[in-house]
């Protein structure tokens, strides 16, 4: 084909799958929220209720032992080389031992694969499962990276609800109704982002039994593992590996508050051998061979980080999260148009329902968040981005003073936009 001037037209063109509305993603939404307030004259500090990265606050600084392990590995000059694409043996052994502490059986290094954070682990398992015609079951609300990766890989996804009136439990009846002969897996996120739920042993066992009945595997996103501060302890889904094969996804990013280290893992928790017999593990290896691997010196530090971090560090972290959850839950009661019926018990987020009938000139949760950012320099993720319209996602893993200040500004915003009697 030629242009009007007689020269040949350019042949290149982009991937149409990337022609997406960036406000459908958390990162895209936050970009536009920050852009909205870039010219604000408000001299008050920005309050990031939208934040999924506690590391920006000094009170959430990671363990000194973890930092020392990384520095020592880097300064040794022994880890400046490439490593196996699926991870170094000491790192994989450390992940296997770390996960096995919570399981009734032992994992081996061959069950663990190192990834560039949990995001790459999601990408890998979605890519592996994306056979023609297959579908996967995803929670709503949930983590939109799963939907994005499924769409890019042509893997159909179907949503099942988490039920707010039942403590955000999974709707097991809906799961069974959604599944068919082409369903390959179900995703659970525990501790739950963005709802702050920690699923009980009994509930997880029911999920395992249902997955077995349906003949599907369970993908368990446990990036918020052990960040629990309510009545329910953290139970690994792989506890039920003898019932159903489980692929566990995790990382250092949340428990250690070091997302920039990009250290994650994917673990096959399959004591019956169902996944290995199906060829899934070989496909995981093949997929990983196409990607870059995590930094070798971070992998070198991993055994000490996972296995020797001091208990005091974890206890202090949970105290901060517990107090943040308490403050958020109690102070939300002061704002009539926002309802938070359940105190979060894990992770770093809470969901609250927005009552638009009590507000003027607010169209929906997206409009609410953009006007809040503009008027009060408070950033918050609208619920529609995580799957539920006219809800709000709060992060309470921020400095205590910033948390109080942010709620005060939010309250003032809601009072200013409240319908007049």
Token pair recorded at residue 35: 């852009």
pLDDT for 18 beyond 90 = no
The confidence score (pLDDT) of residue 20 equals 65
Residues near 91 by beta carbon (within 8 Å), at least 6 away in sequence? 112, 114, 299, 300, 302, 303
Q: What's the pLDDT band for 23 if we cut at 50, 70, 90?
A: low
Position of tokens 């939109």?
144
C-alpha distances out from residue 351 to 55, 228, 345, 382, Å = 21, 16, 12, 10
Kindly report, as residue ranges, where domains of CATH 3.90.1150.10 are found in the chain: 21-59+310-415
By C-alpha distance, which of 292, 218, 209, 195 is closest to 243?
209
Sign, CA dihedral 357-361-365-368, equals negative
The confidence score (pLDDT) of residue 127 equals 97
- What DSSP character marks residue 230? S
C-alpha distances out from residue 413 to 175, 362, 408, Å = 39, 11, 9
Strands (DSSP E) contained in 252-339 are 263-269, 338-339
The confidence score (pLDDT) of residue 2 equals 58
Mean pLDDT of 50-62: 91
> Strand order of the sheet with strand 156-163?
112-116, 263-269, 246-251, 217-221, 183-189, 135-140, 156-163, 169-170
Q: What's the pLDDT band for 3 if we cut at 50, 70, 90?
A: low
The confidence score (pLDDT) of residue 137 equals 98
Q: 286-301, pLDDT tens digit by residue?
A: 999 999 999 999 999 9
Q: Which helix (H) or strand (E) holds 140?
A: strand 135-140
The confidence score (pLDDT) of residue 4 equals 63
pLDDT for 1 beyond 60 = no
Sign, CA dihedral 108-100-115-182, equals positive
By C-alpha distance, which of 47, 45, 30, 27 is closest to 410?
47
Question: Which carries the bigger pLDDT value, residue 397 or residue 25?
Answer: 397
Average pLDDT in the chain: 94
Q: 386-404, pLDDT tens digit by residue?
A: 999 999 999 999 999 999 9
pLDDT for 364 beyond 60 = yes
C-alpha distances out from residue 402 to 55, 150, 183, 383, Å = 14, 36, 44, 22
DSSP percent split of the chain into helix, strand, coil, nearest 5: 45, 15, 40
Question: Which carries the bigger pLDDT value, residue 276 or residue 105?
Answer: 105
Q: Which residues of 301-315 are buried (b: 16+ CB within 10 A; e: fewer)?
A: bbbbbbeebeeebee
This prediction has a pTM of 0.94
**Which residues on neighbouring strands pair with residue 359, listed in sequence order?**
418
Q: 106-138, pLDDT tens digit by residue?
A: 999 999 999 999 999 999 999 999 999 999 999
Q: Which fold has domain 21-59+310-415?
A: 3.90.1150
For the domain covering 63-306, report its CATH number: 3.40.640.10
The confidence score (pLDDT) of residue 51 equals 83
């Amino acid at each position: 084909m030629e242009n009007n001037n007689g020269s040949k037209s350019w042949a290149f063109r982009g991937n149409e799958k990337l022609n997406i509305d960036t406000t459908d993603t958390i990162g895209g939404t936050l970009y536009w929220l920050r852009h909205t307030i870039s010219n604000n004259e408000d001299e008050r500090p920005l309050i990031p209720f939208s934040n999924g990265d506690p590391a920006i606050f000094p009170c959430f600084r990671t363990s000194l032992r973890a930092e020392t392990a990384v520095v020592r590995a880097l300064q040794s000059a022994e880890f400046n080389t490439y490593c196996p694409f699926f991870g170094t043996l000491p790192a994989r052994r450390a992940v296997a031992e770390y996960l096995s502490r919570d399981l009734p059986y032992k994992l081996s290094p061959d069950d663990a694969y190192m990834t560039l954070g949990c995001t790459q682990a999601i990408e890998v398992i979605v890519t592996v499962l994306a056979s023609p015609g297959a579908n996967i079951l995803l929670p709503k609300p949930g983590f939109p990276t799963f939907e994005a990766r499924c769409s890019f890989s042509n893997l159909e996804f179907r949503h099942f609800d988490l039920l707010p009136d039942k403590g955000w439990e999974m709707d097991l009846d809906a799961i069974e109704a959604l599944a068919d002969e082409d369903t390959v897996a179900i995703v659970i996120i525990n501790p739950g982002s963005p709802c702050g739920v920690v699923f009980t042993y009994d509930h997880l066992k029911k999920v395992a039994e249902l997955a077995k009945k349906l003949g599907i595997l369970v993908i368990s996103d446990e990036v918020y593992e052990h960040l629990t501060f309510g009545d329910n302890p953290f139970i690994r889904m792989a506890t039920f590996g003898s019932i159903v094969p489980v692929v566990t996804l995790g990382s250092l990013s949340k428990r250690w508050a070091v997302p920039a280290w990009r250290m994650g893992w994917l673990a096959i928790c399959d004591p019956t051998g169902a996944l290995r017999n199906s060829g899934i593990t070989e496909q995981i290896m093949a997929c990983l061979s196409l990607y870059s691997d995590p930094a070798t010196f971070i992998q070198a530090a991993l055994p000490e980080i996972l296995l020797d971090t001091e208990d005091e560090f974890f206890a202090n972290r949970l105290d901060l999260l517990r107090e943040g959850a308490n403050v958020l839950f109690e102070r939300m009661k002061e704002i009539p148009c926002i309802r938070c019926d359940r105190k979060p018990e894990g992770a770093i987020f809470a969901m609250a329902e927005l009552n638009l009938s009590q507000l003027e000139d607010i169209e929906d949760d997206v409009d609410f968040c953009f006007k809040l950012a503009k008027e009060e320099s408070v950033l918050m993720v609208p619920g529609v981005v995580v799957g539920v319209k006219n809800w709000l996602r709060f992060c309470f893993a921020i400095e205590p003073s910033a948390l109080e200040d942010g709620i005060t500004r939010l309250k003032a915003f809601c009072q200013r936009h409240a319908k007049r009697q």
